[in-house]
Structure 1
C-alpha cells in the first residue's frame, strides 16, 4: 500500500513537470499542435489545462508586481477620459442654455423693435442690499452708454449707470434709488415704480389720485429719457390704501435678480411705442357650463283621469292617506 501511494505521487509529480515543460515549450516556440506537445496532447491534455488554469492567475499577479505602474497609468487615463467627457457634456449643456436665452432675447427685441447688444453678467454689486447693481461684459466699444435701458427675455432689468470700454455697471430696477415711469395695461394710466423693498418687490404709485389700482394689473415702461417704452415690469400683487385712496400698490417684477445671466442693452429705440404687445397673452377665463334640465320619465307625463293634468312629483303632506 505504501509503495502504491509513493508511486502515485511520483507519477503525479512527473505529469506536472511534463505539463510545465510543454507550457514553457509553447511559449518559446509559439506552436501548440505540433512537435512534442502534439504527441502527448491526448494523454496529458487534461493535466496541462488544469495546470494552466492554476498558473495563469499566478503569472498575471507576477506580471502586475513586476510592472505596477501599468494599471495605475491605465486607471489615470480612464479617469482623464471620464473627466473630459463630463466637461464636454457640461459645455454642450451650457451652449444649449445660452442659445435658448439668446433666442428668447431676440424674440422680445423683435416684438419691441429694439436694437440690443447682448451681454453676460460677470459680477454682482453690493451684497448688503443697499446698492443693487451688476456688472456686464459690454461697454462703450459695443455701443453701451449711460442711461441705456437693460432688459432680458422676461422684462426690465434696469439702466446703465456707468461704462468703460469693455464693461458696464447696471443699476437694477429694485435699487432704492431707482424710479421708473410705468403705465397700467388695463387703463393706460401713468405712474412710477420705485425700488427699496428688496429684489422681489417694487412699489407703484399712480400719478392721478382720483383713479384706483387693482390687483392683477400689469405694468410696462412708458417712454422717457432713461427708459424705452413697452418693456414689461411686473404685476400688481397687493393694493395699499393711503388716505382712503387705492393709488399705491406692491408689484412683483417679472425679472428674477437672483438668476440674472444674459441681458440685452437697448442701443436703438423703436420708431413707435410698442404698447402692450411685449406682455404675455392673458389666460382666457373658463366659462361655467350651464346645468342641463333632467328629462322626466314618460310615466310622469301621463295625465290623471278626470283632471287633464299630470300628477307631478308628490309634495310633503300630499298624496298620503290619513
Structure 2
C-alpha cells in the first residue's frame, strides 16, 4: 500500500501523478514519534485558548503530549488526551502554539505545524453568565462515537464557545457558531452521560444543559457519521496514455481535524493520504493511476482516520470503468 504525504498548505488533495500539488514521501525512522497532525487552536474566552490535535501512532506508545506557547512549554497532558486549555492569557492578544509527542521511552518528536489564535476582548464588569444550552440531544454513531446537538445559548454580551462534558470531565470545546459535534474515542456497548455548557468572553460559564445519556453500539462499527460524505468517483485518460481515477469527498464532522485518509480499491487498501499542512474543511480530492487498459471496472471507497487515532466508517462504494468514455 502506498502512503502519500501532502505538504502543501491549503491545497487540494491531488497526487503528483495527476500533475497537482507537490507530494513528498513519508519517512519513518522508527525512533521518535511523528509530529501531531490536525492541530487547531480556538479562543475559549478572553484569557484562554483551547488547543486540540489528533492522536499520534507510535510504537512504543505516547506517554505525554507537550503544548508550547511560542518557545515555552505551556503544559502537557497524558497520551490518552488530545486537548489542553492554555489559561492565564491576555485579552485581545494573538498567540502561536505547537504540539509535540513524547513516547514511553522518553523520546520527544518534532513539533507540529504552528497554529494561531486570538483571545476575545475582555468584557467590562460582565458578571452575567449565558443561559444553559437547550434542546440537547444525542445518538450513538456506531460503537465508538456519538453525535450531540444543542440549541444556542443567549448572553447579554456574546457567547464565544460551548464546552462538552463527559460526566464531570471536559472533553471538548467548539466555537459559538457550532451547535453540534461528533465525539469519538468511546468504547463499544458503554453508557455515557454528556452535558454542554456555554462560556462568554468574560469567562462566565453557563449552567449545564440537560444530561444526555447514550449507549454506544456493540461491536466495532465506527458509525455512519464518521464516514466521508458526498463521495464521488470518475475517471480520465492522462497525457501519458494511462487511466486515472478521480475522487472527491467531504470530510466527516468529528471532534478535531481529519488529516489522514485510506483509499480502498477493489476490496484492498490502495493508498494512505496524509495532509502535512492544513486539511481542507470543504471538499477534498485525490487522483491516482489505475493502469493502462481500457474497459476495466474498479470498486473504490474511502475512510478517515479519526482524531482519536481509530479509523472511521467507509464511504459509499463507487464503481469506475477505465476508458475514454468516463
Do these two structures clear the TM 0.5 threshold for a shared fold by scoring above it? no
Instruction: Provide TM-score, normalisation by structure 2.
Output: 0.20
* Larger RCO, structure (CA 8 Å, separation 6 or more): 2
Instruction: Provide TM-score, normalisation by structure 1.
Output: 0.20
Q: Which has the higher strand share?
A: 2
Q: Which has the higher helix share?
A: 1
